């Protein structure tokens, strides 16, 4: 290496920004490295290879390589960073020996690059070696030893080994509190990392306790403009939500939202995440109008185009759509769900489970918006996709078939409802068995569809089968058994078999009066149906008495405008007309 090369090395050492300190916060530093990186690597690499006689010049070359490594990591090029860090670590080991502080520092940089390159097992092994060497060379409580132990904990977090991370963070935090004090930035950074590890272990109460202290200490330092305070506030709010402390999360985010806007900017991702968290808190508290306003801010087009993660955008749209539905704004809900479906299909594919979940929500939204035929079309599309992706007997496929059959029934398409219910019932019988509670429920739906399609004999057959199964499963006095017996009586009545209907109604009425009381709504419904069967059978006097009883009792217990009270009044007029 020539004297001019040595002079250039020294010039670069004086000019280069320190990557770990300046690149992220200094656009000039990043641009310097982007422009100078090839030249730096060339000069420093030749200096290392030449074996410069002066230690200071060697350290200058090694320092430049380590800073280049930091730039490459910041630029999203961690695999190149590993190669550069390996060169620096080997050069330091060759010059100073494997246990020299300079060598340990460059090996620590290599471990960090390995972690960034997602080679976490190698990073953990190297950090462990470096920490042990620092502890022997400098002492267990030395800042470099603690720095490496903290980095080892970070690598364990990255590897999903939260328990091992927490143990390292606890050790570092204990020393830093004792040596540096509660309010030192390194103490607070370590405490925050420990809280994150606790969160990974579902030790949320401990995470909250630590984060509350971290937030208070940052405040005590006068750290309004310190982003680390805001990161701690955000994480504390998240854990509050996880622990069901929505009111605390809302109060926290309301207090600090102006700071996020002032320090990070209104369009910063973290600010928008706080807005979304605050909106979720408002929604949980029933403050949907306020929640909607915040969700709409989060989804502002100008901001989302600048980089809100697509998954986060989709989740926010789903939450906004739910809030729209709760406030009766069904058309707005449909619009957001349509867009979410399009975005999710573009990101994951039309047959991805998460995309199909949105199709289901969209079908339900159309149904609530008064678009039953569009809902049916979507449910039919969903069934087709689920059969292809999940299989005909998958639980979600069968659930969609059930919803499709119900929607057809509610939309006055009884023949279609029978078709889909028969398919659904067959699937549940084959997967769960004839007498599973879910099979019973679907069979009752099919029986209702038979009645709507004017097939009362089929309904009688099915209700009778379910009644037998529910008596065995739940017992004679269970509400589901009584409801099924009531429905079987109604099916007999629809088939014109009044004697069988009356006998069943009388038995159900007796059981309901005994179990639920004479003024229970179920008791009154059975009384009303029995009265109508009496009237059809020519037992007019009995019909009048029961209809009068239902009208008076339902008006008093349920309200004069209750559908049962109003219908009983109409039937009473009909029965009295038959008396005349």
348-383 residue pLDDT tens: 999 999 999 999 999 999 999 999 999 999 999 999
123-158 residue pLDDT tens: 999 999 999 999 999 999 999 999 999 999 999 999
Whole-angstrom distance, CA of residue 575 vs CA of residue 336: 52
Work out whether the CA dihedral 197, 200, 202, 204 comes out positive or negative. Answer: positive
Q: In this structure, what token pair is assigned to residue 518?
A: 């004479």
246-258 residue pLDDT tens: 999 999 999 999 9
Whole-angstrom distance, CA of residue 107 vs CA of residue 88: 8
CB contact burial 83-103 (16+ within 10 A = b; e otherwise): ebbbbbbebbbebbeeeeebb
The residue ranges of every structural domain in the chain are 1-117, 457-580
Q: In this structure, what token pair is assigned to residue 208?
A: 């909250």
Q: How confident is the model at residue 22 (pLDDT cuts 50, 70, 90)?
A: very low
Tell me which residue has tokens 């290392």: 48
Whole-angstrom distance, CA of residue 88 vs CA of residue 100: 13
pLDDT value at 19 more than 90: no
**Phi, psi at residue 252, to the nearest 5°?**
-65, -50
- From residue 108, alpha-carbon distances to 27, 115, 133, 443 in Å are 26, 11, 11, 66
- From residue 34, alpha-carbon distances to 29, 63, 153, 576 in Å are 9, 17, 31, 95
Whole-angstrom distance, CA of residue 56 vs CA of residue 75: 28
Task: Specify the CATH architecture of the domain 457-580.
Answer: Alpha Horseshoe (1.25)
513-551 residue pLDDT tens: 999 999 999 999 999 999 999 999 999 999 999 999 999
Whole-angstrom distance, CA of residue 165 vs CA of residue 402: 47
324-347 residue pLDDT tens: 999 999 999 999 999 999 999 999
pLDDT value at 267 more than 90: no
Cβ neighbourhood burial of 314 (10 Å; 0-12, 13-18, 19+): buried
What is the 8-class DSSP label of residue 306?
T
End-to-end CA distance of the chain: 123
Q: How confident is the model at residue 225 (pLDDT cuts 50, 70, 90)?
A: confident
Q: How many helices (H) and strands (E) does the chain have?
A: 29, 0
Contact 400, 423 (CB under 8 A): no
Q: In this structure, what token pair is assigned to residue 155?
A: 């690598």
Contact 206, 220 (CB under 8 A): no
Predicted confidence at residue 449, as pLDDT, reads 97
Averaged pLDDT, 82-99: 93
């Amino acid at each position: 290496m020539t004297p001019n090369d040595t002079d250039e090395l020294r010039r670069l050492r004086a000019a280069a920004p320190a990557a770990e300190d300046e690149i992220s916060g200094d656009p000039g530093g990043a641009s310097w490295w982007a422009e100078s990186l090839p030249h730096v690597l060339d000069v420093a690499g030749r200096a290392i290879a030449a074996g410069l006689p002066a230690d200071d010049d060697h350290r200058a070359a090694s320092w430049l390589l380590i800073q280049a490594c930091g730039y490459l990591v910041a630029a999203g090029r961690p695999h190149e960073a590993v190669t550069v860090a390996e060169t620096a670590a080997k050069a330091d080991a060759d010059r100073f020996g494997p246990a020299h502080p300079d060598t340990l520092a460059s090996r620590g940089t290599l471990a960090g690059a390995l972690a960034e390159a997602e080679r976490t097992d190698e990073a953990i092994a190297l950090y462990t070696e470096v920490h042990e060497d620092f502890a022997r060379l400098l002492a267990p409580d030395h800042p470099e030893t603690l720095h490496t132990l903290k980095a080892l904990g970070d690598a364990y977090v990255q590897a999903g080994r939260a328990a091992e991370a927490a143990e390292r963070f606890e050790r570092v935090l204990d020393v830093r509190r004792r040596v540096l004090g509660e309010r030192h930035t390194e103490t607070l950074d370590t405490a925050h990392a420990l809280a994150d590890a606790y969160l990974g272990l579902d030790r949320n109460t401990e995470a909250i306790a630590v984060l509350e202290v971290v937030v208070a200490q940052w405040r005590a330092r006068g750290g309004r403009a310190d982003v680390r305070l805001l990161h701690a506030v955000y994480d504390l709010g998240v854990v509050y939500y996880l622990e069901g402390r929505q009111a605390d999360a809302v109060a926290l985010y309301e207090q600090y939202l102006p700071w996020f806007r002032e320090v990070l900017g209104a369009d910063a991702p973290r600010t928008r995440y706080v807005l979304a968290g605050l909106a979720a808190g408002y929604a949980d508290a029933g403050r949907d109008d306020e929640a909607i306003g915040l969700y709409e801010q989060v989804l502002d087009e100008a901001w989302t185009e600048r980089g809100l993660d697509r998954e986060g955008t989709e989740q926010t749209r789903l939450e906004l759509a739910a809030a729209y539905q709760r406030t009766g704004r069904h058309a707005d809900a449909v619009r957001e769900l349509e867009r979410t479906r399009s975005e999710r299909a573009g990101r994951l594919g039309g047959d991805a489970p998460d995309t199909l979940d949105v199709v289901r929500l969209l079908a339900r939204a159309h149904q609530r918006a008064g678009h039953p035929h569009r809902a049916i079309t979507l449910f039919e599309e969903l069934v087709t996709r689920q059969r292809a992706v999940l299989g005909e007997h998958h639980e979600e496929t069968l659930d969609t078939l059930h919803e499709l059959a119900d929607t057809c029934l509610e939309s006055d398409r009884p023949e279609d409802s029978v078709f889909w219910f028969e398919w659904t019932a067959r699937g549940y019988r084959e997967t769960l068995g004839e007498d599973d509670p879910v099979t019973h429920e679907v069979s009752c739906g099919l029986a209702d569809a038979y009645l709507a399609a004017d097939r009362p004999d089929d309904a009688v057959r099915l209700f009778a089968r379910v009644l037998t199964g529910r008596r065995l499963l739940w017992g004679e006095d269970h509400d589901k058994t009584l409801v099924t017996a009531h429905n079987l009586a109604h099916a007999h009545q629809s088939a014109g078999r009044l004697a069988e209907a009356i006998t069943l109604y009388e038995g159900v009425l007796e059981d309901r009066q005994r179990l639920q009381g004479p003024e229970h709504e179920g008791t009154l419904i059975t009384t009303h149906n029995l009265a109508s069967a009496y009237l059809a059978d020519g037992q007019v006097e009995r019909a009048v008495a029961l209809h009068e009883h239902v009208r008076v009792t339902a008006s008093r217990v349920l309200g004069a405008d209750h559908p049962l009270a109003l219908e009983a009044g109409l039937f009473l007029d009909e029965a009295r007309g038959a008396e005349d």
